[in-house]
Amino acid sequence: MRPFGASLLPVETMKDESQNIDTVPEQYTGSYMDASEHRIADTEANARALFESASSRLLSVNYWGSYAGISAFQLMDAHGIRADRQAAEGDFIRIDIPGPGTHAGMGFDWVRIEEIKHLTNSNQEVLSMTVRPCSHPLAKDSEIAHFFKAEATSTFIIRKAGLTVYAEEHGRNEVPNTEHGSFYDKSRNFVVGVAAKIGLSYPQWKSLIKGLLKS
């Protein structure tokens, strides 16, 4: 696992000195979900070490499955080729959830990494990664290969505030993807999407963020 550091992702200092750095997209349709865990370190050095190790785990997408315990995750580059490195903007994540996948996704669900930010102000330091449902990277059309529509996002955050380090997942604008594609895909996306909307995906994300904070 490649260590996290300034050379990997430069930090941007925020002019806004407010308490919280907010990188979560606005909620405007469908359902949403928030999951959070935190650990309190006994020294600044230990808090720094925990923030950096959790940030490294967040960007090491191929290891997520060992923390989440339900789905498997594979980082793919902008050309749809397996990538054995830490995540970057423009990469894809191939998700293998239990049960049958979509035809559009060739058996998998797909998201693309839309934004990665490393931000700091006088109160906090944040590493944030936002992903959005997308089409299969090798598909000739733009059909979304995910159980949610393209409006949905998931934002994963590692946040350090003093001696406390948080790991968070924020789902926004979650609407089942049932308007396009084959009858099979629409039916499958309805079932999986509704299950996620009523909270059945929460245990997976809770397990993932707990794993990110492992000492």
Count CA atoms within 13 Å of residue 22 on its CB side. 8
Which of left, alpha, beta for 201 (phi over 0: left; psi -120 to 50: alpha)?
A: alpha
**Angle 131-134-137 from CA coordinates, rounded to 5°:** 110
pLDDT at residue number 3: 43
Query: Which tens digit of pLDDT belongs to each residue from 188-208?
Result: 777 787 777 655 578 889 999
Closest-CA residue to 188 (of 64, 73, 105, 75): 105
Query: Which tens digit of pLDDT belongs to each residue from 40-99?
Result: 999 999 999 999 999 999 999 999 999 877 789 999 999 999 999 999 999 999 999 877
**114-145 burial, b for 16+ CB within 10 Å, e for fewer?**
bebbbbebeebbbbbbbbbbbbbbebeeebbb
- The domain limits of the chain are 45-164+178-212
Closest-CA residue to 86 (of 122, 55, 117, 111): 55
In angstroms, the Cα distances linking 201 to 16, 48, 69 are: 34, 30, 12
How far is Cα 162 from Cα 169, in angstroms, rounded to an integer?
20
